[in-house]
Amino acid sequence: MEKIFILGVGPGSPKYVSPLVMEVARSCDLLLGGKRNLEIFAEFPQEKREIGSQIQPLLEFIEANFRTRKTGILVSGDPGLFSLLPVLRRHFQEEVLEVVPGISALQYLFARIKLPWHDAVVLSLHGRREKDLAELVRDNVKVGIFTDHKHTPGMICKLLLEKGIKSRKVYIGENLSYPEEKIYAGSLEDCRELQVEGLNVMVILGGGGERL
């Protein structure tokens, strides 16, 4: 049976792509992914196709190709954490999917700030009410957040302050694993006006009435 390979390419730097992901990607006839992910494999000779924002054309293209061409789908971070995997599971039978894990940007940030993250609550604000965020930060000692262009780190800090949440330690990782990587640390008040660029994730510490 032909397979569709969902390959986690890590936080961005080729250094964090696992040897197995490299091996599988090299063996594929077709690689699909975002521009930054495809750049990691620029020297590989096979056909590459950039994934756009429209999901249905992507699914149709995969459906038309994967039985005759070994297809690899490159996803940022780890496929199990806010990636295309849920969409692919709904469209294709589980038996045709093969997942190869990677290092998520949030996992990377926790490593850089030297904290375990087995007890962290992890969320993305896509499709989630902002009220839920305040409740989660209030009730949990560690919260990891995947930000987006609307829900920026500064906006999140302002929102939490408006909800009466204080005394939190904030870490913001920008362009993690790249040469231009920056990690900011401070309070909600310190970070509410912070302007960050590129890809970023956040960790918020100090809720839930527990020690870190």
Summarised one tens digit per residue, pLDDT across range 16-28 is: 999 999 999 999 9
Clarify whether residues 18 and 66 are in a common domain: yes
Residue 30 placed within a domain? yes
Structure token digits, residue 98: 């093969």
Predicted local distance difference test score (pLDDT) of residue 211: 45
Residue 210 placed within a domain? no
Residue 211 placed within a domain? no
Predicted local distance difference test score (pLDDT) of residue 210: 44
What percentage of the chain has pLDDT greater than the value 90? 84
Sole residue written with tokens 């077709």: 30
Predicted local distance difference test score (pLDDT) of residue 186: 96
Q: What is the pLDDT of the chain when averaged over all its residues?
A: 92
Which among 52, 69, 103 is the end of a domain? 103
Residue 134 placed within a domain? yes
Residue 59 placed within a domain? yes
Checking if the pLDDT of 199 tops 90, the result is no
Q: What does DSSP say about strands 121-124 and 142-146: parallel, antiparallel, or unpaired? A: parallel
> Which of 86, 52, 47 lies closest to 70 in space, CA to CA?
47
Predicted local distance difference test score (pLDDT) of residue 68: 95
Q: How far apart are CA 14 and CA 75, in angstroms?
A: 13
Q: Residue 198: in which H helix or E strand, if any? A: none
Contact 104, 11 (CB under 8 A): yes
Clarify whether residues 68 and 121 are in a common domain: no
Residue 212 placed within a domain? no
Clarify whether residues 35 and 56 are in a common domain: yes
Quote the pTM value. 0.91
Clarify whether residues 46 and 113 are in a common domain: no
Residue 163 placed within a domain? yes
Domain extent, residue 44, equals 4-103
Q: What is the mean pLDDT of residues 53-67?
A: 95
Strand order in the sheet with 4-8: 47-50, 30-33, 71-75, 4-8, 97-100
| pLDDT class of 212 with cuts at 50, 70, 90 | very low
Which among 103, 132, 150 is the end of a domain? 103
Residue 41 placed within a domain? yes
Clarify whether residues 192 and 134 are in a common domain: yes
Q: What is the mean pLDDT of residues 143-151?
A: 90
